[in-house]
């Protein structure tokens, strides 16, 4: 039976305990499991390989993204590290040039320098840039959409036509919009990755990551082997926290998006603000594509101030909004990409994508939007 996304979020893979009827699926806080006899197993042997709580989360994630298999990890970066273990030295990957700094760091500092993978960074919102970057040894295209932090939009359907023609993978980081607003696998992507720390968990109290696959059995077996061998799997308690957070994902994202629209309108009219970057703005580049492939625009936005001196004042002046890294929680957070999330990215790339010392990123929470606006307004007035 096909269920609405709200129902799937709450119930997932029938997320109650079938043996006891417990509505909240139990935390199986066990490293190992007793065998029934020689060559006999309950299906669980050792928690690095498989754990009931993590398995329930993984099957729920697969349902939500419309995938066939899912794998949960201790962080979003652990998920990406495990995924890229499927590639070999001299394999080439085309990547969004506007992306999270931690992703760039693992690509360049570890996978490129130590393991010989090759990466080309392009504006993936421009299809010709992707086509021109293709080489005979290209194995995948990795995109964020919307991107972090400039909120650029890549056309998943069109890119997937190209990747299928070339028989390479399309990997989409769906952290910002989640399966509530966007389902890349339905649009032609092969793999979805998440930092579950963000919107899926939703409460800034858990680190988590995930990989979800459309239907590639061979790739699923490879990743399962890597997950079991390398580890960095999500702990039982953290799996339970993520399961709990997912139940309210739809309600949270609707409220956060509602708040984001109000804040964007205020920022656009503020004399101290130079430019606002949010996919929900009709004149935002990529707005129509985002609208066609997603059911919402999310609650992540960036804005640049006219005077760089305002940055310090705002970051130190806000009281309700927290100056902190991360995003996607019920609490609103403001981040300075150049110093925090994107400090690992070379200046020439930052200059090319528009990340400069006047740019701030805002993750809008579920507080009263008017209180958040007053908080920003008060902080900006401190310079007057």
187: β partners: none
Distance CA 70, CA 208 (A): 13
DSSP code of residue 52: H
71: β partners: 211
Q: Collapsing DSSP states into helix, strand and coil, what is residue 182? A: coil
Q: Which listed residue (173, 190, 238, 375) is catalytic?
A: 173
Question: Residue 278 catalytic?
Answer: no
Question: Residue 222 catalytic?
Answer: no
Q: Which listed residue (13, 48, 166, 222) is catalytic?
A: 48
Residue ranges in the chain modelled with pLDDT below 50: 384
pLDDT in tens, 213-253: 998 899 999 999 999 999 999 999 999 999 999 999 999 99
Question: Residue 91 catalytic?
Answer: no
pLDDT, position 19 = 82
Q: Which listed residue (25, 28, 73, 100) is catalytic?
A: 100
Domain limits of the chain?
A: 5-247, 250-381
pLDDT, position 384 = 46
Question: Residue 45 catalytic?
Answer: no
What dotted CATH number matches 250-381? 3.90.1150.10
* Residue in 248, 274, 242, 280 with CA at minimum distance from that of residue 261: 280
Q: Which listed residue (54, 152, 198, 247) is catalytic?
A: 198
pLDDT, position 383 = 52
Distance CA 115, CA 88 (A): 8
pLDDT in tens, 200-215: 999 999 999 999 999 8
pLDDT, position 299 = 98
* Residue in 132, 147, 40 with CA at minimum distance from that of residue 98: 147
pLDDT in tens, 94-121: 999 999 999 999 999 999 999 999 999 9
The answer for residues whose C-beta is within 8 angstroms of residue 354's C-beta and 6 or more apart is 150
The answer to whether 232 touches 73, Cβ cutoff 8 Å, is yes
The answer for residues whose C-beta is within 8 angstroms of residue 157's C-beta and 6 or more apart is 187, 188, 293
Using the CB atoms, write b or e for 107-136: b if 16+ within 10 Å: bbeebeeeeebbbbbbbbbeeeebeebbee
pLDDT in tens, 251-277: 999 999 999 999 999 999 999 999 999
| CATH level 3 topology of 5-247 | 3.40.640
142: β partners: 95, 171
């Amino acid at each position: 039976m096909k269920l609405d996304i709200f129902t799937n979020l709450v119930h997932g893979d029938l997320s109650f305990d079938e043996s006891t009827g417990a509505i909240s699926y139990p935390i199986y806080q066990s490293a190992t499991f007793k065998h029934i006899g020689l060559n006999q197993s309950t299906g669980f042997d050792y928690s690095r390989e498989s754990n009931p709580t993590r398995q329930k989360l993984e099957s729920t994630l697969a349902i939500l993204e419309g995938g066939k298999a899912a794998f949960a990890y201790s962080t979003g970066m652990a998920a990406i590290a495990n995924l890229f273990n499927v590639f070999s030295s001299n394999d080439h990957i085309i990547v969004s040039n506007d992306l999270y700094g931690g992703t760039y760091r693992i690509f360049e500092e570890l996978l490129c320098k130590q393991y010989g993978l090759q990466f080309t960074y392009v504006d993936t919102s421009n299809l010709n840039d992707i086509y021109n970057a293709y080489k005979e040894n290209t194995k995948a295209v990795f995109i964020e959409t919307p991107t972090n932090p400039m909120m650029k939009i890549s056309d998943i359907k069109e890119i997937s036509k190209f990747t299928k023609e070339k028989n390479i993978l399309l990997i989409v980081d769906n952290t910002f919009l989640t399966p509530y607003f966007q389902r890349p696998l339905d649009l032609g992507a092969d793999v979805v990755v998440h930092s579950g720390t963000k919107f899926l968990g939703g409460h800034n109290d858990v680190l988590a990551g995930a990989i979800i696959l459309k239907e590639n059995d061979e790739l699923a077996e490879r990743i399962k082997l890597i997950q079991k061998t390398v580890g960095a799997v999500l702990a039982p308690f953290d799996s339970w926290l993520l399961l709990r957070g997912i139940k309210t994902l739809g309600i949270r994202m609707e409220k956060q998006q509602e708040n984001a629209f109000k804040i964007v309108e205020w920022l656009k009219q503020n004399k101290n603000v130079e430019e606002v970057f949010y996919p929900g703005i009709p004149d935002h580049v990529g707005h129509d594509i985002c609208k066609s492939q997603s059911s919402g625009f999310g609650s992540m936005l960036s804005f640049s101030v006219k005077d760089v001196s305002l940055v310090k004042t705002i970051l130190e002046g806000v009281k309700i909004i927290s100056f902190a890294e991360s995003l996607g929680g019920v609490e609103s957070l403001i981040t300075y990409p150049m110093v925090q999330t994107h400090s690992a990215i070379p200046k020439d790339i930052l200059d090319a994508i528009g990340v400069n010392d006047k740019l701030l990123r805002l993750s809008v929470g579920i507080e009263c939007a008017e209180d958040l606006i007053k908080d920003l307004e008060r902080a900006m007035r401190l310079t007057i």
